[in-house]
Structure 1
Amino acid sequence: MEGAGSMSLIIALDFPNRTEVERFLSHFAGEKLYVKVGMELFYSEGPGIVSYLKEQGHQVFVDLKLHDIPNTVKSAMRSLARLGADMVNVHAAGGTKMMRAAWEGLAEGTPAGQERPLCIAVTQLTSTSETVMQQELWIDKPLQETVLHYAQLAKESGLDGVVCSALEAEAVRNACGNGFHTVTPGIRQAADSTDDQIRVVTPEDARKLGSSYIVVGRSITGAEHPLQAYKTIQEQWEGITL
């Protein structure tokens, strides 16, 4: 597991197929990246896309947000561990028994001599507003209070961290400790469109708020010059001034 002080920028490979991924990665010759494979790409290409990315030397966050009965999640995590994923996730709303089963599946599936993938739990999606959470999901607690409760359940279940908005990262760290990772999507540069995200912040703000990892998609994948955009965001995230 990476140390509590680690900081990584994860690129969301939100593409429909491997051809598009290869075209995008051609801009990054020689770069070893941390990338995210979400549902669209995984369901289109299957587990082979993870194997391909690992063969290219990249770290891979397999973002499938598993949420099912404990035994099913345990079996799925066993398979993902064998693929060599570096990070995987579940929905915290699945409960502690399911989260513990996820951890157990990863531990069982990790090949000898390799590190177990980090296992994190989704608290509330960054596209979810307080209004939606309370009026549609019928969660009558404040959004940040709900995120903190889910984070504490994830920690109690043995997980390594949570997916949350950077706006909640500091509170999660205060509640769960510096060694508990906060993986924060919804990252945009100030001039970028927020699209379907609601709780968004800039890379600089995410750093100041204490995110462990930021997940960046369209600000890099949709850029005219992806490598340049990646380096600019990396510098902002790491606090480098030129």
Structure 2
Amino acid sequence: MKRPIIALDFPDLGSVQLFLKKFPSHEKLFVKVGMELFYEDGPEVVRYLKRQGHDIFLDLKLHDIPNTVESGMRRIAGMGVAITNVHAAGGTEMMAAALRGLEAGKPVGATRAKLIAVTQLTSTSEKQMQADQLIAASLEESVRHYAQCAQKAGLDGVVCSGQEVAAIKKATDAGFICLTPGIRPTGAAVGDQKRVMTPGAAREIGADYIVVGRPITQAADPYDAYTQIKKEWNGVAK
């Protein structure tokens, strides 16, 4: 059964540990470690989660000159995360350098982390993109173009909203990953997201992974919320 990725948007490792105590010890999760948590506790939070048997999406969105990104990815490769990412706006040369770094840095015999590229943030509307980034194309065209650039650079997939999955799947090769944040169960608050989708809708349009944060982390019963979202994501009747 596919697992929704839980966004561990907490300020520190202690908060993560308290949250994980609300889950049965046998439940092996897929979790996202983002900037706030990583900048506070660094690789130790990744090591802790791996010791607990959880899979990790390290969401640091690298975006810099190719050499710097390649060097950074060498360090990330040794952490043993399952997925990590860069910003597609860095260009094909930067994305290819990131992939080289992951390959060069992975331990002997280890599986390389999947490398995906952020297209347009799910908090960005088309109007904002056109005004702030001076991109005249539609948001869907921008996302599709970034996805094709990521594929050209050899990456495994992209981060995109559920609304762009179908277009990306049509424009890229079979097996190209679409990881979809901005997932909200029916009736949940949208928060700062602009382009959201339910777990069931994400499954139906072909998303490969979904990321869910506050509907689980801020729920009165996080494990129950997680279980219900997991069922919907897998098309299992409640």
- How far does the alpha carbon of each residue in 1:69-98 deviate from its partner, in whole angstroms, 9 at most, with x for none? 000000100000101111100000000100
Q: Distance in 1 between matches of 2:162 and 2:174?
A: 15
Q: Distance in 1 between matches of 2:118 and 2:197?
A: 18
Q: Secondary structure at the match of 2:211?
A: strand
Q: Distance in 1 between matches of 2:4 and 2:157?
A: 16
Query: How many residues get paired?
Result: 237
- Equivalent residue for 1:214, pick from 207, 210, 214: 210
Q: Distance in 2 between matches of 1:162 and 1:107?
A: 18
> In the superposition, relative to structure 1, how do residues 211 and 7 fare at CA in structure 2: closer, same or farther (>3 Å)?
farther
- Report the alpha carbon displacement of residue 47 of structure 1 after superposing the two structures with TM: 1.0
- Report the alpha carbon displacement of residue 8 of structure 1 after superposing the two structures with TM: 3.8
Q: Is the 8 A contact 1:7 1:212 kept in 2?
A: no
- Equivalent residue for 1:160, pick from 156, 161, 179: 156
- How far does the alpha carbon of each residue in 1:41-67 deviate from its partner, in whole angstroms, 9 at most, with x for none? 000111111111111100000000000
Match of 1:27 in 2: 22
Tell me the TM-score normalized by structure 1. 0.96
Q: Distance in 2 between matches of 1:171 and 1:23?
A: 40
2:230 counterpart of 1:237 = no
Structure 1 runs not aligned, ≥5 long: 1-5
- How far does the alpha carbon of each residue in 1:191-222 deviate from its partner, in whole angstroms, 9 at most, with x for none? 11100000000001101111000000000000
Equivalent residue runs for 1:42-57 within 5 Å? 42-57=38-53
Query: What is the root-mean-square deviation of aligned Cα atoms in Å?
Result: 0.9
Match of 2:8 in 1: 13
Displaced runs of 4 or more, over 6 A: none
- Report the alpha carbon displacement of residue 136 of structure 1 after superposing the two structures with TM: 1.3
- How far does the alpha carbon of each residue in 1:106-152 deviate from its partner, in whole angstroms, 9 at most, with x for none? 00011011100000000000000000000111111100000000000
Match of 1:96 in 2: 92
Q: Is the 8 A contact 1:37 1:60 kept in 2?
A: yes
